[in-house]
Structure 1
Amino acid sequence: MSSSHSAPTTASPSAPHRPDWVPDAVFYQIFPDRWARAGGPDPDLQPWGAPPDRDRFQGGDLIGITEHLDHLADLGVTALYLTPVFAAGTNHRYDTEDYFRIDPMLGDDANFDKLVGQAHERDIRIVLDAVFHHCGYGHPAFQDVLRRGPESPYANWFFVDSYPVSADPEPTYRTCSGCWYLPKLNVDHPALRAHLFDAVRHWTTRGIDGWRLDVPYMMENPGFWAEFRQVVREINPDAYIVAEVWEPAGEWTTGRTSDAAMNYQLRDALLDFLVDRRTGAGTLAARTAEIDREVGADAAGHMLNLLDSHDTARLRTVCGGEPELTRLSLATLFALRGAPMVYYGDEVGMAGLNDPECRGAMQWDRARWDTTTLDQVTALIRLRRGSVALRRGDQLVTAVTDDVVRIDRHHPDQQVAVLVNRANHPAHVAIDPAGVDLATGAAVPAGSVAVPARGAVFVDTTRR
């Protein structure tokens, strides 16, 4: 048997301030072009629900998001992460052309303010994408450099290797990941830095609740993000700052640059155990312990835990189209420490390979919904929101057998044991003391608990 026990999440007096609302949050990610379109048919757009194309738009907009906020409220979602909404040239909008302007295809400032206001009325917070490592080819500053070369006042906003500036056949300037349309920004330049931080102030002042940092690890000078954090916190001390990190995230959980990180390492560990079966329960326990050590106790409850995103294949597809395995994966995610995030459409059974298929239009035809999964996601969110141990408890992960893992969440006011069985047959797990099934309210006597095949049981084991 292998086990891990991470330290309590109580912050030390010298620990950095992190927003207290995050451990209680349930996040939902939206890719705005593909969530909901309020406007009518448009010949310049793909038909809604057409096979997604990297280069074409389906016309999702901010009004569409606002009109469907009740779907999120009914789910129980409390925080919404939007991929970029600023003016850009692509449907993903990571190629910003104006940091101060909502993309016209999405709407305008009034639409944005209405979205924020109506989300807040439903106790749903809004987190935006901070894309400051690079901008878009169409950004006016870069276009000026293209026209005027070294005489442009913006020449030093970028990393130009030679003039004249050209993208053909190879860029004569540095880019993000070799993409010619994503010129890299020289954030050490004072005027550019001021421009970006003015944009941060502009949107933070409009009432958003946090920022997700896009590829922050590609920035050579982490001092930029430390200053970014200061700018944000001067306006909203409780804004959440979360870094996109695919590797061990300790550098991004110290509180100097960000509060925590997207927990792609946990995603890998869960899928290796539950879906691909490359590892056993003992390895999962060890990997969760290693993540906790890397992240640190103060940040563990603020990690953004996910199983898929706009940058991965969808969970249903990763699970081979198997709804039971999809639901088991989600249940395990909701059992673990950190704020869980649902990628749009996963709750109704949407599938899709990696980009562009994972960015398909949200399915609004209820006749095509996987209502069993929808009901389970709704129940998981309700269960987590109603359990202080699941939201804020310490975490002890142990291997019961190679196929069964036990996740104990300990809080002074509640203790919960979650038993996860990946096997194709039921498992019987010893449990003591007696408890209550959190999902059904049924008594669970001390002794052996039956865990369904590909199932999970949440037991409140608080001594009364």
Structure 2
Amino acid sequence: MRWPEHAIWWHVYPLGFVGAEREAPPMEGPAEPPLEGSAEPRISGPQPGGPRLSRISGWLDHLVELGCNGLALGPVFASETHGYDTVDHFRVDPRLGGEADLLRLFEEASGRGVRVLLDGVFNHVGRGFPAFADVAARGRESPYAGWFDSDGQGEFRTFEGHHRLVAFNHAEPQVADYVTDVMTHWLERGVDGWRLDAAYAVPATFWRTVTERVRARFPDAWLVGEVIHGDYVDSVERTGFDSVTQYELWKAIWSSLNDRNLFELAWALGRHDEMLAAFVPQTFLGNHDVTRIASRLTDERHLAHALVVLLTVGGVPSIYAGDEFGFRGVKEDREGGDDAIRPAFPARPEEASGHGWPYHRLHQDLIGLRRRHPWLVHARTTVATLTNTTLSYTVGEGTDRLAVVLNLAEEPAKVALPSAGWSRIAGEATFSADGAVVPAAGWAVAEPAVL
């Protein structure tokens, strides 16, 4: 197995995590465009609050104690506001610290056996991006005129109508050169892979060019594209990504639990198996872009059911920082509407509300279970019992198998399983040779009994 198949990510949105200011301070001195994809250090500017990345370092032991071995960072590069309006992909956002601070975080993570994933925003940039600023000032006289699509009247194509997010012209070869230079620059400095933001908005031919160049130098780098909808298998095949974000399963988990319609989840698990035949999806219950799972679910008892599904089906799972404590937060479609799902964290994990509570311990238990069964990354799901409120399934890879039983009803339920004899290893249920009785609103995981 390659290292990504052993990865369980803890996903952090750094600017929110450290309590950074909403807007970046002005840069000191003139900003120069990235000529020839230059990787030269940029002018750092002030660092209000000091090297705040050290706050994330203080949580690395928590990440490991949780059972994770990967740190997936949101945007860390110089930007104007929220990190997705990048102005310099070679410079650390001064609200977080400097390059030395980021490299120190890489080293501290590596010392604990923790891989690091960076968030690459390569569909669009902020209007302060030097190459765009040069085009805005000089028009067609700018050497970067081909980097952006213009209507000739001073208007430029943007990302989904957001005026401050100017889209790259991905047909321009210099843009592919630039993105390749950025990715290899940070891979050289110790990062292990990239999450590629808004990958669905970028032509697959562009990604194929970039991923082939990056892999030529860093064959072990893990590249995962943010793909929200569409044909995931086709996307992976055409772009050269290792994986994409499994939004289809994410939606089915919380929706089926809220609606008490486990047929939806069963259907999604079938689709998930089809993907696993081609690649290993990146699975999750939460991230920096969606309402927290604790706020999304209408019955908090279903938090356990959701986590059981995430950590017993195939895929490369990630835990959005704070979800292990049951953090709440609703994403709203307004200015500042992401703030609730991207809060500041305390300096130490034990100061976090929910630390040590049952849901936190359940994360540790289920992540530990997954670690003891690493084959789950490729496991396929076979449904045995399915009603609106009960679901039993087996997950298997080769000769390895586990059984999972879920009950959303307010009374105990009997479910079937393939005759094998089962021994409970997590949760609460009474297993027999061919099934189980699951308590009201209960769940359990079992392994084949040793005869």
Pairwise TM-score range, normalised by the shorter structure: 0.7 to 0.9
State the match for 1:384 in structure 2: 370
Whether 2:330 is the aligned partner of 1:353: answer yes
CA contact (8 A) 2:199 2:225 kept: yes
CA contact (8 A) 2:313 2:379 kept: no
CA contact (8 A) 2:106 2:190 kept: yes
* Equivalent residues, number: 417
Work out the CA distance in 2 between the residues paired with 1:358 and 1:103: 20
State the match for 1:420 in structure 2: 406
Work out the CA distance in 2 between the residues paired with 1:26 and 1:423: 31
- RCO higher in structure (CA 8 A, sep ≥6): 1
CA contact (8 A) 1:316 1:326 kept: yes
Q: Give the 3 Å change call, closer, same or farther, for CA 276–23 of structure 1 in structure 2.
A: farther
Aligned residue among 412, 420, 423 for 1:436:
423
> Which one is further off, 400-409 or 130-139?
400-409
What secondary structure does 1:245 align onto?
coil
State the match for 2:125 in structure 1: 135
State the match for 1:15 in structure 2: none
What code does the residue aligned with 1:304 have? Q
Aligned residue among 49, 64, 69 for 2:55:
64
- The Cα of 1:256 is off from its aligned counterpart by 4.3
Whether 2:143 is the aligned partner of 1:158: answer no
State the match for 1:335 in structure 2: 312
Whether 2:194 is the aligned partner of 1:207: answer no
CA contact (8 A) 1:285 1:398 kept: no
- The Cα of 1:439 is off from its aligned counterpart by 2.5
Work out the CA distance in 2 between the residues paired with 1:440 and 1:290: 26
Whether 2:271 is the aligned partner of 1:290: answer yes
CA contact (8 A) 1:328 1:456 kept: yes
Work out the CA distance in 1 between the residues paired with 2:320 and 2:305: 16
State the match for 1:449 in structure 2: 436
State the match for 2:335 in structure 1: none
Aligned residue among 183, 193, 209 for 2:176:
193
Q: Give the 3 Å change call, closer, same or farther, for CA 193–341 of structure 1 in structure 2.
A: same
TM-score by length of 2: 0.85
Aligned residue among 115, 119, 126 for 2:105:
115
Gaps of 5+ in 2: 25-47, 332-337
Aligned residue among 301, 318, 325 for 1:324:
301
Gaps of 5+ in 1: 1-18, 46-56, 166-171
TM-score by length of 1: 0.83
Question: Identity across aligned pairs (percent)?
Answer: 33
CA contact (8 A) 2:270 2:381 kept: no
Work out the CA distance in 1 between the residues paired with 2:79 and 2:425: 46
- Spell out the pairing of 1:69-108 with structure 2 (5 A cutoff): 69-90=60-81, 92-108=82-98
CA contact (8 A) 1:305 1:339 kept: yes
- After superposition, give the CA deviation of every residue in 1:385-428 in whole Å (9 maximum; x if it has no partner): 11144333332234333311122112335210011112222222
What secondary structure does 2:426 align onto?
coil
What secondary structure does 2:124 align onto?
coil
Whether 2:444 is the aligned partner of 1:461: answer no
What code does the residue aligned with 1:461 have? P
What code does the residue aligned with 1:456 have? W
State the match for 2:354 in structure 1: 369
CA contact (8 A) 1:175 1:183 kept: yes
- Spell out the pairing of 1:114-263 with structure 2 (5 A cutoff): 114-163=104-153, 165=154, 172-219=155-202, 221-248=203-230, 249-254=232-237, 256-263=239-246
- After superposition, give the CA deviation of every residue in 1:222-267 in whole Å (9 maximum; x if it has no partner): 2111122112212321211111111131222327421121000001
- The Cα of 1:463 is off from its aligned counterpart by 5.7
CA-based RMSD? 2.7
What code does the residue aligned with 2:141 have? E
- The Cα of 1:187 is off from its aligned counterpart by 2.4
CA contact (8 A) 1:285 1:399 kept: no
What code does the residue aligned with 1:228 have? V
- After superposition, give the CA deviation of every residue in 1:85-132 in whole Å (9 maximum; x if it has no partner): 111011x21111011111111111211111111112222111111211
